[in-house]
């Protein structure tokens, strides 16, 4: 491999000749050979938006000339297009402020920009990092990446699932089945009502997630090192936030209190709490689906789900609810990520939180996993759910909790006696009620209508 010499305040260091990064990136690359997790490209692209926005703000405020703005913008656009993906090699497990990743972006923009300009036009600190500090850029990039990924990936995936559930509700209108609480038989429910519960979870979770984005739309940029805004011109924070909004099409704004914005990570902690709520809902839905489809002969068997692949290397013909299992694994990972983010967010000491790379790594992983899981679950399982009407009818008619319909007529205690007699003697509720001489056959038939028990009476 060929190398070139780069230098920083600590001296010279060899850098691969075909890479645009500089000395500080190389030192971090060498000093933090930890794990496989790299700073995600979502964060790098957020940095590109940030750097272009900062350059625009500096130019508007008379701090940066038009030519340097044009070159910085051109390189940022190359980063956003994915052209320079191979030039951002740093580990998540680096400095907790993300300083080296900020400098990685600065160095790549400067070196690629100088190549485009044909001269040493840009300095990574003096021009690309103008009016900024790692301490305000990294939290800003975190927020830009978090909002962008939620809006562009997660919300559309949730919307597709909600639409599929709406379709299933309509298709299964009028089917009455046994309800269940405590994993025990309960009073009847419409299958469409059961599906509407799943839909309601996703709709409520979506609202929580959208509401949580408001805190993430506040940007720390302009606070520089400790929140005072030292070395940034007056108005830079507002101009930069406006530029970010223009470039992303999202309504970002500058944080009113930069001292808070640099040290607290409560906004992203709160937003991930909404992701955890979605994960909990997805765990519940996936468990419902695999319980209801359990069998095919020795389980509940009330729904049929698509058969996607063989389920056993030893049991021929076995098919498992693999999509449900995948969803539940994603859910527990997201719940684990929430614990990591919560612990990390509690570590804002004095003017800075130094757990930022691991916070955004876990946040974005949760968004990716939930988005991909929702798409896969909807496409490969939920969209193909079919009601097993015969099994639902059989289970409904065998349910002892239908006796609830008799309670207003014969009283709670007599209804309990009826249910216990039917269970003990393995006879129908009608036979038990008549055997106890609580009702005549005609009276029983007049009040006992399971299909009417799915609403107020």
With respect to residue 235, please indicate whether it lies within any of the assigned structural domains. Answer: no
Domain boundary among 359, 390, 421: 390
CATH number at residue 100: 1.10.275.10
Same domain, 277 and 344: yes
Contacts of 195 (CB under 8 A, 6+ apart): 165, 168, 169, 172
Q: Where residue 329 falls among pLDDT bands split at 50, 70, 90? A: very high
Q: Say if residue 417 is in the same domain as residue 434.
A: yes
Task: Return the DSSP state at 174.
Answer: T
Given a cut of 80, whether residue 401 has pLDDT beyond it is: yes
**Residues forming beta bridges with residue 176, ordered by sequence position:** 190
Helix (H, G, I), strand (E, B) or coil at 387: strand
> Is 131 known to be catalytic?
no
Range 143-153 burial, b when 16+ CB lie within 10 A, else e? bbbbbbbbbeb
- Report the 10 Å Cβ neighbour count for 318: 11
Q: What is the pLDDT of residues 422-449, one digit of tens each?
A: 999 999 999 999 999 999 999 999 999 9
Domain that holds residue 351: 142-215+262-390
Claim to verify: residue 434 and residue 382 sit in the same structural domain: no
107 and 156 together in one domain: no
158, 205 Cβ separation under 8 angstroms: yes
Strand partners, 218: 253
The per-residue pLDDT for range 220-229, each reduced to its tens digit, is 999 999 999 9
At 289, list the tokens.
């689906």
CA–CA dist 29, 39 (Å, integer): 12
* Residues with Cβ within 8 Å of residue 192, at least 6 apart in sequence: 168, 169, 170, 172, 173, 174, 175
Separation in Å, CA 54 to CA 104, 136, 204, 314, 398: 16, 12, 37, 61, 69
> Per-residue pLDDT averaged across 315-343, rounded?
97
CA-based Rg of the chain, rounded to a whole angstrom?
Answer: 30
Mean per-residue pLDDT for 194-200?
98
Cα distances from 438 to residues 72, 187, 407, 430, 433, in angstroms, run 87, 21, 11, 10, 6
Domain count, the chain: 3
Q: Indicate which CATH number applies to the domain containing 346.
A: 1.20.200.10
How far apart are alpha carbons 360 and 365 in whole angstroms?
8
Do 404 and 383 reside in the same domain of the chain? no
| CATH number, domain containing residue 440 | 1.10.40.30
Tell me which of 81, 170, 312, 339 is the catalytic residue: 312
Q: Would residue 246 count as lying in a domain?
A: no
Q: Does one domain contain both 298 and 150?
A: yes
Coil vs helix vs strand at 91: strand
Phi (first) and psi of residue 312, to 5 degrees = -150, 145
382-408 average pLDDT score: 97
Q: Assess if residue 248 is contained within a domain.
A: no
Same domain? 313 vs 415: no
Mention every residue, 6+ apart, whose C-beta is less than 8 A from residue 158: 202, 205, 206, 209, 278, 374
* One domain for residues 149 and 106: no
Cα 168 to Cα 9, 268, 378, 395, distances in angstroms: 64, 34, 12, 21
Question: How far apart (Å, rounded) are the C-alpha atoms in residues 353 and 344?
Answer: 8
Q: Kindly state the tokens that stand for 262.
A: 């640099």
Residue 287 CA to residue 324 CA, distance in Å, equals 7
Q: What is the pLDDT of residue 406?
A: 96
Cis peptide before 296 (omega within 30 of 0): yes
HSE-up (13 A, CA, CB side) for residue 457: 17
- Final residue of a structural domain among 351, 368, 390: 390
- Is 264 annotated in the active site? no
Torsion of the alpha carbons at 290, 291, 292 and 298, rounded to the nearest 10: 110
Closest of 54, 46, 48, 69 to residue 243, by C-alpha: 54
Percent of all residues in the chain with a pLDDT value above 70, rounded to a whole number: 100
Mean pLDDT of the chain, nearest integer: 97
Q: Is the pLDDT of residue 457 over 80?
A: no
Quick one: 315 and 446 in the same domain? Answer: no
The CA distance from 240 to 50, in Å, is 8
Percent of the chain with pLDDT over 90: 99
| Residue with token string 């940095």 | 47
For residue 49, being part of any structural domain is answered with yes
In this structure, is residue 313 part of a structural domain? yes
Q: Indicate whether 304 pLDDT > 90.
A: yes
Q: Which stretches of 100-248 are assigned E, i.e. beta strand?
A: 176-181, 184-190, 218-219
Q: What is the pLDDT of residues 58-114, one digit of tens each?
A: 999 999 999 999 999 999 999 999 999 999 999 999 999 999 999 999 999 999 999
Please tell me the predicted confidence (pLDDT) of residue 388. Answer: 98
Three-state DSSP state, 456: coil
For residue 106, what is the enclosing H or E element?
Answer: helix 99-117
Euclidean distance between CA atoms 333 and 301, whole angstroms: 29
Instruction: Say whether both 122 and 172 belong to one domain.
Output: no
């Amino acid at each position: 491999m060929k190398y070139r010499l780069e230098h920083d305040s600590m001296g010279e260091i060899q850098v691969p000749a075909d890479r645009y990064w500089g000395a500080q990136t190389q030192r971090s690359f060498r000093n933090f050979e930890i794990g496989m997790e790299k700073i995600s490209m979502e964060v790098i692209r957020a940095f590109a938006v940030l750097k272009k926005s900062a350059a625009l703000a500096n130019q508007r405020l008379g701090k940066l000339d038009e030519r340097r703005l044009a070159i910085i913008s051109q390189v940022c656009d190359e980063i956003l297009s994915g052209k320079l993906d191979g030039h951002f090699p740093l580990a998540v497990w680096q400095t907790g402020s993300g300083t080296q990743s900020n400098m990685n972006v600065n160095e790549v923009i400067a070196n690629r920009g100088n190549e485009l300009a044909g001269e040493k036009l840009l300095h990574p600190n003096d021009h690309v990092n103008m009016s900024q500090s790692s301490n305000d850029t990294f939290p800003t990039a975190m927020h830009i990446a978090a909002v962008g990924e939620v809006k562009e990936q997660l919300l559309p995936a949730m919307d597709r699932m909600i639409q599929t559930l709406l379709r299933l509700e309509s298709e299964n209108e009028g089917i009455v089945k046994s309800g269940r609480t405590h994993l025990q038989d309960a009073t009847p429910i419409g299958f469409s009502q059961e599906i509407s519960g799943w839909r309601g979870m996703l709709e409520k979770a979506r609202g929580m997630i959208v509401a949580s984005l408001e805190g993430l739309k506040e940007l720390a940029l302009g606070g520089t090192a400790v929140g005072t805004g030292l070395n940034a011109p007056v108005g830079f924070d507002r101009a930069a936030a406006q530029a970010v909004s223009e470039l992303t099409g999202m309504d970002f704004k500058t944080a009113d209190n930069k001292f808070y914005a640099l040290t607290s990570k409560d906004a992203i902690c709160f937003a991930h709490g909404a992701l955890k709520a979605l994960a909990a809902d997805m765990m519940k839905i996936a468990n419902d689906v695999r319980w209801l489809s359990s069998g095919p002969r020795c389980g509940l068997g009330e729904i049929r789900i698509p058969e996607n692949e063989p389920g056993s290397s030893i049991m021929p013909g076995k098919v498992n609810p693999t999509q449900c299992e995948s969803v539940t694994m994603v859910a527990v990972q997201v719940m684990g990520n929430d614990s990591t983010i919560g612990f990390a967010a509690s570590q804002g000491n004095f003017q800075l939180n130094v757990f930022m790379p691991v916070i955004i790594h876990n946040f974005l992983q949760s968004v990716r996993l939930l988005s991909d899981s929702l798409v896969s679950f909807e496409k490969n399982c939920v969209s193909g759910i079919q009601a097993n009407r015969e099994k639902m009818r059989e289970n409904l008619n065998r349910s002892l909790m239908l006796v609830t319909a008799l309670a207003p007529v014969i009283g709670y205690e007599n209804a309990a006696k009826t249910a216990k007699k039917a269970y003990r003697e393995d006879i129908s509720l009608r036979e038990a009620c008549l055997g106890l001489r609580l009702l005549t056959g005609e009276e029983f038939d007049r009040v006992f209508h399971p299909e009417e028990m799915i609403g107020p009476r």
